[in-house]
């Protein structure tokens, strides 16, 4: 009964305290929570699923995040950088396939000059598409130049809002700078996406509840949340990793707290569980990010295992597979650029 009342308040008022969030995150049978999130998703953002074409253009990274296979010290992976012309060709393919957003993602690779990135953004903007960047922490000035070149959105997960845990997992980086980046991006007029990595060692339900409160406080436009999947040759290779249920609860709670945001069913969710995308779409998600990069490179963008099977066209997030999956769920494919429609 108490649980029903909590879910009802959330569904009608989109607000709840930390204790309430922890109680709901601990639910053994979350089906009512999921149903409420699905209703709110339908009411506020409708049945459309927006596709964002992902291009992973470099796997070089100078950071050392403990969970990530691309971390600089990992000498066991082969590194690549796409040529600007290759990136633009992939974006053209995306445009011809009807996509309305291109997401450019990479490790923190200082090789690409801001002027080069600005030119790539300008070229893609000429194709009448929205451009999202996910290239890590930059200076205020660099963010401003990329915005001026036409970038519309930026994805930078906070990963965890627990400062102590954040510092443990990100040697040489600072929590304060991460937050500074998010504030800069907001002030510069980007649509701002952030999110958590779920199931990190030492992460508690209380920490996850605080993550959700942080997202609401900063009024995030987009939230990407996925399970942490342990990756070989990283300091966390022998850890357990996140479970799908906790990710789905976080997504459902995010949708109830922030009814009009854009929220993907993430690739990691689709990799961790064969039905991950479908489950995500049923728990509040309204975005999927098909990978439209070049097969040869997809194989090398190894954040975690299982991301790309031997035949990359069978990858869970290939464009064709995703379109079929969306229609099978009685959902439609978004036709416009899919900006956040603020309620």
Q: Provide the 3-class DSSP secondary structure of residue 192.
A: strand
Calpha distance 32→9 (Å, rounded): 13
303 contact partners, CB below 8 Å, separation of at least 6: 68, 69, 70, 229, 231, 268
Token pair for 290? 């098909």
At CA 245, angle to CA 242 and CA 247, rounded to 5? 60
156 binds ligand SAM (CB under 6 A): yes
Q: Which is nearer to ligand SF4, 73 or 202 (CB)?
A: 73
Total residues interacting with ligand SAM, rule: CB under 6 A: 19
199 binds ligand SAM (CB under 6 A): no
Candidate list 226, 280, 334, 338; residue touching ligand SAM; CB under 6 A: 226
Minimum distance between the CB of residue 279 and ligand SAM, rounded to whole angstroms? 17
Minimum distance between the CB of residue 61 and ligand SF4, rounded to whole angstroms? 3
Token pair for 189? 């007029």
Minimum distance between the CB of residue 104 and ligand SAM, rounded to whole angstroms? 10
231 binds ligand SAM (CB under 6 A): yes
> E strands within the chain?
48-51, 53-58, 101-106, 130-134, 153-155, 191-194, 197-198, 222-223, 226-227, 287-288, 332-333
- CB 69 within 8 Å of CB 233: yes
Q: x/- binding map, residues 123-142, to ligand SF4, per CB under 6 A? A: -------------x------
User: CB neighbours (10 Å) of residue 324?
Assistant: 10
At CA 187, angle to CA 183 and CA 189, rounded to 5? 120
Calpha distance 262→54 (Å, rounded): 16
Q: Which of residues 55-84 bind ligand SAM (CB under 6 A)?
A: 67-68, 70
Q: x/- binding map, residues 105-124, to ligand SF4, per CB under 6 A? A: --xx----------------
Q: Which is nearer to ligand SAM, 74 or 134 (CB)?
A: 134
Minimum distance between the CB of residue 91 and ligand SF4, rounded to whole angstroms? 21
Considering CB distances under 5 to 8 angstroms, the limit depending on partner class, which of ligand SAM, ligand SF4, none binds residue 258?
none
Q: x/- binding map, residues 32-71, to ligand SF4, per CB under 6 A? A: -----------------------------x-x-x--x-xx
Using alpha carbons, select from 241, 264, 250 the residue that is nearest to residue 134. Answer: 264
Minimum distance between the CB of residue 25 and ligand SAM, rounded to whole angstroms? 19
Residues near ligand SF4, by CB under 6 A? 61, 63, 65, 68, 70-71, 107-108, 136
């Amino acid at each position: 009964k108490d649980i029903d009342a909590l879910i009802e308040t959330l569904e009608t008022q989109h607000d709840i305290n930390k204790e309430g969030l922890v109680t709901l995150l601990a639910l053994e049978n979350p089906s009512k929570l999921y149903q409420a999130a699905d209703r709110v998703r339908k009411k506020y953002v409708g049945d459309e699923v927006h596709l964002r074409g992902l291009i992973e253009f470099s796997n070089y990274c100078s950071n050392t995040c403990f969970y990530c296979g691309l971390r600089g010290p990992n000498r066991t992976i082969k590194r690549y950088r796409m040529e600007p012309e290759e990136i633009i060709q992939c974006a053209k393919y995306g445009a011809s396939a009807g996509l309305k957003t291109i997401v450019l993602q990479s490790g923190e690779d200082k090789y690409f000059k801001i002027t080069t990135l600005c030119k790539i953004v300008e070229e893609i903007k000429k194709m009448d598409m929205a451009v999202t960047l996910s290239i890590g922490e930059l200076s205020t000035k660099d963010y401003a130049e990329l915005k001026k070149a036409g970038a519309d959105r930026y994805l930078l997960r906070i990963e965890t809002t627990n400062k102590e845990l954040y510092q443990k997992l990100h040697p040489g980086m600072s929590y304060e700078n991460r937050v500074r980046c998010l504030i800069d991006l907001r002030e510069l007029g980007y649509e701002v996406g952030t999110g958590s990595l779920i199931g990190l060692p030492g992460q508690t339900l209380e920490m996850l509840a605080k993550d959700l409160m942080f997202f609401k406080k900063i009024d995030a436009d987009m939230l990407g949340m996925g399970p942490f999947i342990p990756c070989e040759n990283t300091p966390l290779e022998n850890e357990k990793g996140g479970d799908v249920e906790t990710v789905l609860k976080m997504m459902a709670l995010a949708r109830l707290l922030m009814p009009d945001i854009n929220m993907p069913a993430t690739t990691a969710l689709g990799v961790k569980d064969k039905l991950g995308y479908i489950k995500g779409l049923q728990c509040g998600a309204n975005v999927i990010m098909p990978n439209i990069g070049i097969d040869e490179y997809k194989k090398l963008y190894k954040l975690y295992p299982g991301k790309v099977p031997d035949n990359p066209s069978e990858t869970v997030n290939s464009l064709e597979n995703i379109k079929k999956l969306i229609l099978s769920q009685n959902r439609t494919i978004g036709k416009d650029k899919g900006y956040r429609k603020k309620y």
